[in-house]
């Protein structure tokens, strides 16, 4: 189907090119009045450097019998502080295939210090091989001081039309002016979209008649000439705790090649509509054919796996089998050459290979299973307006059994049936149904994710010791991480680490996993413990939270730029029953607390009571009922966490000697 | 040239693939505490001339679990002078059966440009392998040739913690007319056998058990067995060299790499002379020149060929205003010379582990250059790659170790500056006002010495980062609201002064009429070393420091102290710790704390004492007082 790396180039018989001149453009090495007098950026006093000017132009041109995609780039950056010196180290990535490559054909660099101009010398531009597919041009500017303006300009020619992916308006430092131009002959169609919240100052698109002359054809092609400008672009505030990909918020113009009409007639479609995608997908030799390897899998697994039990049992058995059979090589690689059979033989594969093997096996067992493509949280949300295959970087199985749907990913050994790894909790994906049309499908994370402690404690006032048992119950995603810890750590090391984390006076007397209270999505562990030196003097001052879920508020910033996204809902619960020792009475107990977020978004509750038989009951619950909160909730969430930390760290029980 | 090869009494057997590397053949004693077992590590260096050597090695590692994979070491560096002749890896399953094969082209080929380097011609090939099952075994064979004989690889019979060794062999062979030096360390305790003569040497050891890392360990190289080698006549990136002493090494560096790289244009010379013309004080001249370098240059590293060793010329730095440590040090040296001050290019092994250049084994060592300026019997030090560090200040990167001073008279080993604990001092004074719900703290922190090193960078941080820093620094105080802060870096006296005011409602515990308050709200030391299990090695504390704290605590209205703190006064070989809380007035108390940590090497048997000392401190720093409503 989608060929991200297909190269389109043409051999031409004649050499005659007509290109309409690009728009008037700022001359290299000449600063405008306002640029040379620029001293500080008032809108952002923290900026260490600022783009005064940035210009890009993309167009097609025939050179040496090939049609090249030309990129011209020109930038001027004012260095405001020493901390901004790093912006004078430039890297320009260049892509290549086996036989063709992108090339910088012209490049210039210059540092302005007032009237003094210092150029980057030719040997000071380095080309570095980075990997099989990439190299880069690296250079730095001479004579940099606070107040220098660095300026550079280059022209790149590319034989690849798909590497034209757009224009990044917003970066780590602010920009006063950023202009993007493109002139695209009608033969090439690119899907385009503007991301982020900033507005365009100039948004022009016009048809230029007969702008591209292709030798040997009768009519010249018309072009679409585009000009987009943004002004006063603020710096992009980088990542915060618990957020989705910054790609969702950064202002950027995205292009994706959707169609190329050959000058000889015939059309190469890349992506256009989901109908096209579906059609290509069904006849596709790559992923599509990989999904049709049912026979291979039937032959290579135990027949019982595919036939024994009802549908759900078979699906679960197959899922366990695939998880166990494969080791994930930490790669996603969903659009590259996938070899499901080889991966199966080698017992190792990328996300696509493992999950396609899973789908094949499910199909072989007569279970309705389809491929769903999605984007990981780091990647950003896929566009829903039109298919942009590059948006997707992950693939899972969607299984339908008896009216219920399950999403499966067999790359993580500890993931229960029906739960996706955290990296996949990114709202929705597209299910590629072989028999019908593809459709969007929501990723609904597991709902019960909790850490619970149920404790019973007694105080020994003579030994000044606290002892008892507690059950530690983890569910959902919390269970998955706990299981990974339990499976990969020796019990001795696990307990030692736990003791060290809680306190030096904390000793675990015994520990066991309660199998009768554990299942696929839940682990119950029982601990017998003692805490020494819990108090001094005659009165007993005691924090009833002998074990804490967390001691710090993960949110410390006073402001928040982006929504808070936890991926899934969470509950923390602590239930304690404590006996008051003979000869003592409860003098005071913590105050009850009850906080809620609007719309039932979250709860924090602390309830402490004493009963007649001389014991104390404590109930604490902290629940985040939503996976996603808009900025408006930020101060509320921060406060809720604050109260949760306070409850755990500062609660106090006073027992007095009678 | 005719070569005479040595037949050593350990025959160099090139084991064939029929060798049994199955997991069950490993002795149980080698599985204890190991993540991986080196079945065989064998390397032969064949020196043919002072500018040609061939290094052949075979390394077989059985990886027992995920953390063991890092011991495979399937990596080889190369550049223009070094070419890879053979490179192959076989993967064996637990039974010792070959399951996969990687040829040289299957290795990942990448630039070995480090962080902070713009460009380097050094490259690396390495194996990327995802194991499907543990244990598995990697048989790595490699061979490279190089003209750079200045670096003879140092041989470690065991290369890390949690790794055991079945057999490790090392051989050197060279023509009889070529002289070499070697130094082997810590062989006896590990039972390494050796033989050597004028045409080579040979070592062998079997069955080394895995070592566990422990807190406050000595450096690994200081107790693990290893061999260092050097040729008397060597070659480096096209340059010949000869040296057997540090003095000769210094001469070679001076004559071959530094000479004639200190020229400056007359304009620059004049400019720098003008800069100091109104002062006769050499210290002031040094300060101004150093300031000039800091204001006008920045650190950029480009490493190509001999450029990895030879500084770019002072003139070139003057033009582009950037350079790496060598270039900037050489440039500063040239500028100082222009104003009549002699200084010395100095080579150091820079990192916080305080590693000295090996006093007893002169060879090409070190990874950094800085400048030494002798002045009336005093040694001044200039770190030329930083734009912010004060003149004559060394941080943990270069302090207290042997370094090589290079000059026209050759090399000289000297010790760089050491800071005594009393010089690495932090004084915290504060006024803490307790309200029934909220606490306000006005704090001043003064830091010098190594503690200054951790602070001076703050001055250049953004307001947001500084706030984050304090929230982290006082992370045992919940809900810190910074009201204002100000950080001053006095570069003349080399001291930072921080002034911070904050409030919090997340610190007091309240129960009815009582409030619980831990007086050490501003400088806790919560670190407790790990519980020791049969401590075997010395306890090494590299740097000491002194903290002094004085907090004036204002109680809320109508409260009195129901239960106070016990006065503590501890003194032992590791340091001193004292705490007191005294009444100043009806509503005011003064908390005083002093913590001195002494550096030193202490015997293994004292580990628990040290741990208990730190435990006591950690606990006392958390102690609370009880306030009762009157």
Contacts of A130 in chain B (CB under 8 A): 110-111
SS3 A179: strand
Look up residue B250 and give its two tokens: 């210094």
B212 and B324 inside one domain: no
A519 and A376 inside one domain: no
Cα distance between residue B473 and residue B281, in whole Å: 41
A583 and A483 inside one domain: yes
Boundary of a domain, candidates B205, B239, B273: B239
Q: Give the number of other CB atoms < 10 A from CB of residue B533.
A: 9
DSSP character string of B298-358: EE-EEE-GGGGTSPPPHHHHHHH-EE-HHHHHHHHHHHHHHTT---EEEEE--STT-PPP-
Asked if the structure places residue B351 within a domain, the reply is yes
**Per-residue pLDDT tens over the stretch A474-525:** 999 999 999 999 998 989 989 999 998 888 788 999 999 999 999 999 999 9
A407 and A464 inside one domain: no
B454 and B591 inside one domain: yes
Q: What is the mean pLDDT of the segment spanning A443-464?
A: 93
A511 and A620 inside one domain: yes
A409 and A462 inside one domain: no
Contacts of A537 in chain B (CB under 8 A): 563
Alpha carbon dihedral A643, A646, A648, A649, in 10-degree steps, equals: 170
Judged against a pLDDT cut of 80, whether residue A538 lies above it is answered with no
Residue A537 forms contact with B (CB below 8 Å) = yes
B214 and B227 inside one domain: yes
Contacts of B525 in chain A (CB under 8 A): none
Q: What is the mean pLDDT of the segment spanning B102-107?
A: 96
8 Å CB contact of A130 and B110: yes
Asked if the structure places residue A278 within a domain, the reply is yes
H helix count then E strand count, chain B: 9, 39
Q: Which residues face A331 on adjacent strands?
A: none
Cα distance between residue A503 and residue A500, in whole Å: 5
- Rg (Cα) of chain B, in Å, rounded? 29
**Per-residue pLDDT tens over the stretch A381-402:** 998 888 888 889 999 999 999 9
* Angle of helix B282-296 versus helix B325-338 axis, rounded to 10: 140
Asked if the structure places residue A653 within a domain, the reply is yes
B74 and B112 inside one domain: yes
8 Å CB contact of B119 and A128: yes
Closest by Cβ to B563, choosing from A124, A347, A537 = A537
pLDDT of residue A15: 30
Task: State the pLDDT confidence band at B121, using cuts at 50, 70 and 90.
Answer: confident
Interface pTM, i.e. ipTM: 0.86
Contact A658, A585 (CB under 8 A): yes
C-alpha separations of B482 from A643, B469, B528 in Å: 19, 11, 29
Look up residue A107 and give its two tokens: 């490049």
What CATH number has the domain bearing residue B443?
Answer: 2.60.120.1130
8 Å CB contact of A553 and B320: no
- Top residue of B116, B128, B130, B489 to mutate, by most chain A CBs within 10 Å, is B130
Asked if the structure places residue B248 within a domain, the reply is yes
Task: State the pLDDT confidence band at A9, using cuts at 50, 70 and 90.
Answer: very low
B317 CA to centre of own chain: 28
Q: For chain A, what percent of residues have pLDDT higher than 70?
A: 95
Q: Which residue of B has its CA nearest to A638?
A: B479
Judged against a pLDDT cut of 70, whether residue A4 lies above it is answered with no
Cα distance between residue B239 and residue B247, in whole Å: 18
B534 and B604 inside one domain: yes
Interface A-B, measured as beta-carbon pairs within 8 A, has a size of 123
Judged against a pLDDT cut of 80, whether residue B11 lies above it is answered with no
Cα distance between residue B396 and residue A157, in whole Å: 48
Cα distance between residue B180 and residue B53, in whole Å: 13
What CATH number has the domain bearing residue A432?
Answer: 3.10.620
Cα distance between residue A623 and residue A641, in whole Å: 10
Asked if the structure places residue A191 within a domain, the reply is yes
Residue A561 forms contact with B (CB below 8 Å) = no
Judged against a pLDDT cut of 60, whether residue B274 lies above it is answered with yes
Boundary of a domain, candidates B201, B223, B239: B239
Contact A79, A147 (CB under 8 A): yes
**Per-residue pLDDT tens over the stretch A288-347:** 788 888 889 999 999 999 999 999 999 999 999 999 999 999 999 887 778 899 999 999
Per-residue three-class SS string for B180-218: EEEEEECCHHHCCEEEEECCEEEEEEEEECCCCCCCCCC
Chain A nearest CA to B358, separation (Å): 35
8 Å CB contact of A504 and B528: yes
Judged against a pLDDT cut of 90, whether residue A418 lies above it is answered with yes
Q: Give the number of other CB atoms < 10 A from CB of residue B262.
A: 18
A314 and A372 inside one domain: yes
Judged against a pLDDT cut of 60, whether residue B393 lies above it is answered with yes
B250 and B226 inside one domain: no
Q: Which residues face A66 on adjacent strands?
A: A63
**Per-residue pLDDT tens over the stretch B278-330:** 999 999 999 999 999 999 999 998 888 787 889 999 999 999 999 999 999 99
pLDDT of residue A16: 31
- Selection from A257-271, A367-381, B454-468 with the highest mean pLDDT: A367-381
8 Å CB contact of B479 and A645: yes
A1 CA to centre of own chain: 25
pLDDT of residue B4: 36
Cα distance between residue B357 and residue B344, in whole Å: 17
pLDDT of residue A21: 40
8 Å CB contact of A652 and B514: yes
pLDDT of residue B18: 60
What CATH number has the domain bearing residue A250?
Answer: 2.60.40.3140
Tell me which H or E stretch contains A316: helix A311-325
What CATH number has the domain bearing residue B408?
Answer: 3.10.620.30
Q: Which residue of A has its CA nearest to B475?
A: A552
Q: How far apart are the first and last CA of chain B?
A: 98
Asked if the structure places residue A234 within a domain, the reply is yes
A251 and A285 inside one domain: no
Judged against a pLDDT cut of 90, whether residue B124 lies above it is answered with yes
User: b vs e for A618-653, b when ≥16 Cβ sit within 10 Å of the residue's Cβ?
Assistant: bebbbbbebbbbeeebbebbbbbbbbbbbbbbbbbb
Asked if the structure places residue B420 within a domain, the reply is no
Asked if the structure places residue A651 within a domain, the reply is yes
Count the domains in chain A: 3
More confident residue, A153 or B512: A153
8 Å CB contact of A139 and B118: yes
Tell me which H or E stretch contains B410: strand B410-415
Task: State the pLDDT confidence band at B13, using cuts at 50, 70 and 90.
Answer: very low
B402 and B457 inside one domain: no
Contacts of B321 in chain A (CB under 8 A): 142-145
Asked if the structure places residue A24 within a domain, the reply is no
Contact A216, A12 (CB under 8 A): yes
**Per-residue pLDDT tens over the stretch A72-102:** 999 999 999 988 999 999 999 999 998 999 9
A203 and A333 inside one domain: no
Boundary of a domain, candidates B360, B385, B415: B415
Task: State the pLDDT confidence band at A14, using cuts at 50, 70 and 90.
Answer: very low
C-alpha separations of B404 from B54, B123, B385, B413 in Å: 29, 28, 18, 5
Residue A460 forms contact with B (CB below 8 Å) = no
* Phi, psi torsion values for A352, nearest 5 degrees: -65, -45
B148 and B227 inside one domain: yes
Look up residue B146 and give its two tokens: 């190089």
B206 and B117 inside one domain: yes
Residue A541 forms contact with B (CB below 8 Å) = yes
Task: State the pLDDT confidence band at B9, using cuts at 50, 70 and 90.
Answer: very low
Boundary of a domain, candidates A422, A442, A462: A442
**DSSP letter, residue A91:** E
Please state whether beta strands A267-269 and B82-92 pair in parallel, antiparallel, or not at all (unpaired): unpaired
B397 and B347 inside one domain: yes
Asked if the structure places residue B141 within a domain, the reply is yes
Cα distance between residue A536 and residue A544, in whole Å: 16
Asked if the structure places residue B12 within a domain, the reply is no
- Rg (Cα) of chain A, in Å, rounded? 31
Contacts of A654 in chain B (CB under 8 A): 511-512, 514
Please state whether beta strands A49-63 and A175-185 pair in parallel, antiparallel, or not at all (unpaired): parallel
Look up residue B401 and give its two tokens: 């170790």
What CATH number has the domain bearing residue B131?
Answer: 2.60.40.3140
Cis amide leading into B475 (omega within 30): no
A480 and A431 inside one domain: no
List, edge to edge, every strand of the sheet that includes B155-156: B155-156, B226-231, B180-185
B126 and B255 inside one domain: no
A263 and A300 inside one domain: no
Cα distance between residue B332 and residue B385, in whole Å: 10
B226 and B267 inside one domain: no
Q: Which of B534, B548, B536, B629 is nearest to B591 (CA)?
A: B548
Task: State the pLDDT confidence band at A271, using cuts at 50, 70 and 90.
Answer: low
Q: What is the mean pLDDT of the segment spanning A25-44?
A: 91
Task: State the pLDDT confidence band at B553, using cuts at 50, 70 and 90.
Answer: very high
Contact A120, A137 (CB under 8 A): no
Judged against a pLDDT cut of 50, whether residue A427 lies above it is answered with yes
Count the domains in chain B: 3
Q: Which residue of A has its CA nearest to B295?
A: A145
Contact B137, B61 (CB under 8 A): yes
SS3 A562: coil
DSSP character string of B473-493: HTTTSEEEEEEEEEEEEETTT
* Phi, psi torsion values for A302, nearest 5 degrees: -65, 130
Task: Report chain A's mean pLDDT, rounded to a whole number.
Answer: 89
Contacts of A645 in chain B (CB under 8 A): 478-479, 506
* Angle of helix A311-325 versus helix A351-364 axis, rounded to 10: 150
Please state whether beta strands A450-460 and A570-579 pair in parallel, antiparallel, or not at all (unpaired): parallel
Residue A247 forms contact with B (CB below 8 Å) = no
pLDDT of residue A2: 33
pLDDT of residue B462: 86
Asked if the structure places residue B440 within a domain, the reply is yes
What domain range includes position B313?
243-415
Asked if the structure places residue A436 within a domain, the reply is yes
A259 and A217 inside one domain: yes
Please state whether beta strands B123-126 and B75-78 pair in parallel, antiparallel, or not at all (unpaired): antiparallel
Asked if the structure places residue B272 within a domain, the reply is yes
Closest by Cβ to A642, choosing from B130, B506, B563 = B506
Q: Which residue of B has its CA nearest to A323?
A: B132
A140 and A255 inside one domain: yes
Asked if the structure places residue B8 within a domain, the reply is no
**Per-residue pLDDT tens over the stretch A182-233:** 998 888 888 888 888 899 999 998 988 888 887 777 778 888 899 999 999 9
- Top residue of B64, B118, B125, B525 to mutate, by most chain A CBs within 10 Å, is B118
Q: Give the number of other CB atoms < 10 A from CB of residue B323.
A: 27
Cα distance between residue B152 and residue B159, in whole Å: 17
What domain range includes position A152?
45-238+245-269
What CATH number has the domain bearing residue A454?
Answer: 2.60.120.1130
Contacts of A140 in chain B (CB under 8 A): 118, 300, 322
Instruction: Please state the pTM of the whole predicted model.
Output: 0.88
Asked if the structure places residue A33 within a domain, the reply is no
- Top residue of B63, B479, B625, B629 to mutate, by most chain A CBs within 10 Å, is B479
Which residues, 6+ apart, have CB-to-CB distance to B488 below 8 Å? B459, B496, B497, B498
């Amino acid at each position: 189907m989608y060929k991200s790396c297909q190269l389109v180039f043409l051999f031409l018989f004649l050499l005659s090119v007509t290109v309409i001149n690009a728009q008037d453009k700022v001359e290299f090495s000449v600063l405008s009045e306002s640029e040379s007098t620029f001293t500080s950026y008032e809108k952002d006093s923290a900026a260490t450097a600022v783009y005064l000017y940035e210009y890009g132009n993309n167009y097609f041109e025939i050179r040496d019998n090939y049609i090249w995609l030309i990129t011209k780039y020109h930038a001027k950056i004012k260095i405001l502080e020493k901390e901004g010196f790093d912006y004078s180290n430039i890297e320009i990535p260049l892509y290549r295939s086996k036989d063709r490559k992108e090339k910088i054909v012209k490049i210039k660099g210059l540092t302005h210090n007032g009237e003094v101009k210092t150029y980057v010398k030719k040997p000071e531009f380095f080309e570095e091989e980075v990997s099989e597919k990439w190299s880069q041009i690296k250079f730095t500017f001479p004579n940099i001081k606070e107040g220098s303006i660095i300026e550079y300009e280059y022209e790149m020619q590319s034989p690849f039309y798909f590497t034209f992916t757009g224009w990044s308006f917003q970066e780590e430092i602010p920009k006063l002016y950023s202009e993007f131009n493109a002139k695209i002959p009608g033969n090439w169609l690119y899907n385009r979209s503007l991301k982020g919240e900033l507005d365009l100052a100039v948004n022009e698109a016009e048809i230029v008649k007969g702008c591209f002359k292709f030798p040997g054809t009768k009519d010249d092609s018309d072009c679409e000439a585009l000009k987009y400008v943004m002004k006063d672009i603020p710096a992009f505030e980088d990542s915060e705790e618990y957020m989705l990909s910054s790609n969702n918020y950064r202002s950027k113009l995205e292009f994706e090649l959707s169609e190329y009409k050959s000058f000889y007639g015939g059309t190469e479609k890349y992506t256009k509509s989901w109908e096209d995608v579906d059609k290509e997908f069904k006849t596709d030799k790559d992923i599509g054919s990989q999904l049709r390897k049912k026979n291979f899998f039937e032959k290579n697994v135990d027949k019982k796996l595919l036939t024994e039990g009802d549908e759900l049992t078979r699906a679960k058995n197959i899922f366990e089998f695939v998880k166990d059979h494969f080791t994930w090589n930490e790669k996603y690689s969903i659009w590259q050459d996938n070899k499901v059979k080889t991966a199966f033989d080698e017992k190792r594969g990328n996300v696509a290979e493992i999950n396609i093997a899973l789908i094949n096996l499910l199909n072989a067992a007569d279970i309705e299973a389809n491929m769903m493509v999605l984007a990981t949280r780091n990647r950003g949300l896929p566009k829903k307006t039109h298919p942009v295959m590059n948006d997707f970087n992950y693939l899972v199985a969607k299984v339908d059994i008896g009216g219920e749907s399950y999403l499966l990913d067999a790359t993580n050994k500890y993931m229960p049936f029906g739960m996706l790894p955290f990296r996949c909790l990114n709202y929705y994906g597209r299910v590629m149904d072989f028999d019908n049309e593809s459709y969007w499908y929501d990723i609904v994370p597991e709902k019960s994710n909790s850490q619970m402690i149920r404790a019973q404690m007694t105080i020994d006032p003579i030994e000044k010791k606290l002892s008892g048992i507690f059950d530690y119950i983890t569910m959902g995603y919390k269970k998955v991480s706990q299981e990974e810890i339990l499976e990969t750590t020796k019990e001795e090391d696990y307990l030692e680490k736990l003791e060290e984390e809680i306190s030096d006076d904390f000793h675990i007397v015994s520990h066991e996993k309660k199998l009768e209270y554990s299942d696929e999505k839940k682990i119950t562990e029982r601990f017998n413990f003692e805490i020494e030196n819990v108090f001094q003097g005659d009165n007993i001052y005691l924090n009833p939270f002998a074990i804490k879920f967390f001691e710090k508020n993960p949110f410390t910033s006073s402001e928040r730029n982006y929504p808070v996204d936890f991926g899934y809902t969470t509950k923390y619960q602590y239930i304690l029953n404590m006996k008051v020792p003979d000869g003592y009475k409860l003098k005071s107990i913590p105050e009850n607390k009850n906080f809620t977020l609007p719309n039932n978004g979250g709860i924090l509750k602390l309830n402490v009571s004493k009963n007649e038989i001389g014991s104390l009951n404590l109930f604490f619950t902290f629940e985040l009922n939503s996976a996603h909160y808009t900025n408006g909730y930020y101060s509320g969430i921060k406060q809720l966490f604050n109260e949760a930390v306070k409850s755990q760290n500062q609660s106090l029980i006073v027992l007095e000697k009678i | 040239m005719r070569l005479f090869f040595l037949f050593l009494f350990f025959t160099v057997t090139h084991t064939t693939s029929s060798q049994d590397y199955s997991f069950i053949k490993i002795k149980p004693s080698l599985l204890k505490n190991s993540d991986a077992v080196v079945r065989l590590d064998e390397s032969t260096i064949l020196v043919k001339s002072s500018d040609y050597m061939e290094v052949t090695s075979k390394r077989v590692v059985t990886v027992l679990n995920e953390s063991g994979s890092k011991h495979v070491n399937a990596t080889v560096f190369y550049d223009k002078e070094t070419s890879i002749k053979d490179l192959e890896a076989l993967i064996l399953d637990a039974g010792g059966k070959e399951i996969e094969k990687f040829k040289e082209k299957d290795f990942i080929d990448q630039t070995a440009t480090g962080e902070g380097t713009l460009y380097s011609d050094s490259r690396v090939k390495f194996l990327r392998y995802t194991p499907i099952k543990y244990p598995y075994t990697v048989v790595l064979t490699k061979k490279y040739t190089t003209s750079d004989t200045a670096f003879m690889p140092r041989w470690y019979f065991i290369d890390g913690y949690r790794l055991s060794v079945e057999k490790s062999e090392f051989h050197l062979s060279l023509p009889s007319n070529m002289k070499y030096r070697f130094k082997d360390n810590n062989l006896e305790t590990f039972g390494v056998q050796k033989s050597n003569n004028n045409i080579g040497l040979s070592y062998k050891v079997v069955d080394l058990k895995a070592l566990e890392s422990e807190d406050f360990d000595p450096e690994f190289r200081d107790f693990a067995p290893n061999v260092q080698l050097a040729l008397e006549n060597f070659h480096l990136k096209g340059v010949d060299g000869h040296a057997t002493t540090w003095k000769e090494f210094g001469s070679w560096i001076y004559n071959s790499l530094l000479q004639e790289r200190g020229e400056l244009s007359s304009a620059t010379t004049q400019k720098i002379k003008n800069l100091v013309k109104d002062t006769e004080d050499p210290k002031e001249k040094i300060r101004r020149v150093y300031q000039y370098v800091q204001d006008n240059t920045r650190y950029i590293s480009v490493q190509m060929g001999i450029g990895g060793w030879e500084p770019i010329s002072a003139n070139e730095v003057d033009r582009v205003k950037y350079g790496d440590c060598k270039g900037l040090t050489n440039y500063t040296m040239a500028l100082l010379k222009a104003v009549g001050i002699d200084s010395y290019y100095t080579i150091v092994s820079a990192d916080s582990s305080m590693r000295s250049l090996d006093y007893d084994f002169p060879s090409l060592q070190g990874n950094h250059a800085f400048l030494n300026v002798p002045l009336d019997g005093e040694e001044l030090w200039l770190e030329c790659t930083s734009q912010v560090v004060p003149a004559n200040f060394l941080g943990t990167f270069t302090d207290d170790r042997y370094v090589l001073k290079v000059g026209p008279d050759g090399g000289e080993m000297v010790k760089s500056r050491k800071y005594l604990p009393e010089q690495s001092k932090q004084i915290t004074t504060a006024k803490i006002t307790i309200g029934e719900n909220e606490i306000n703290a006005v704090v001043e922190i003064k830091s010098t010495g190594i503690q200054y090193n951790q602070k001076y960078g703050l001055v250049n941080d953004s307001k947001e980062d500084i706030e984050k820093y304090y929230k982290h620094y006082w992370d045992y105080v919940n809900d810190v609201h910074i009201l204002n802060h100000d950080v001053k870096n006095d570069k003349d006296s080399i001291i930072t002064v921080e002034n911070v005011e904050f409030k919090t409602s997340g610190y007091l515990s309240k129960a009815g009429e009582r409030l619980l308050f831990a007086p050490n709200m501003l400088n806790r030391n919560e670190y407790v070393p790990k519980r020791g299990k049969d401590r075997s090695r010395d306890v090494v504390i590299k740097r000491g420091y002194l903290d002094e704290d004085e907090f004036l605590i204002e109680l809320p209205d109508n409260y009195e102290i129901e239960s106070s703190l016990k006065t503590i006064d501890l003194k032992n070989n590791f340091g001193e710790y004292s705490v007191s809380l005294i009444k100043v007035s009806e509503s005011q108390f003064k908390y005083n704390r002093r913590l001195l940590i002494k550096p030193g090497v202490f015997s293994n048997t004292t580990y628990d004492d040290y741990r208990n000392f730190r435990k006591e401190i950690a606990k006392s720093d958390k102690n609370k007082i009880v306030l009762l409503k009157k």
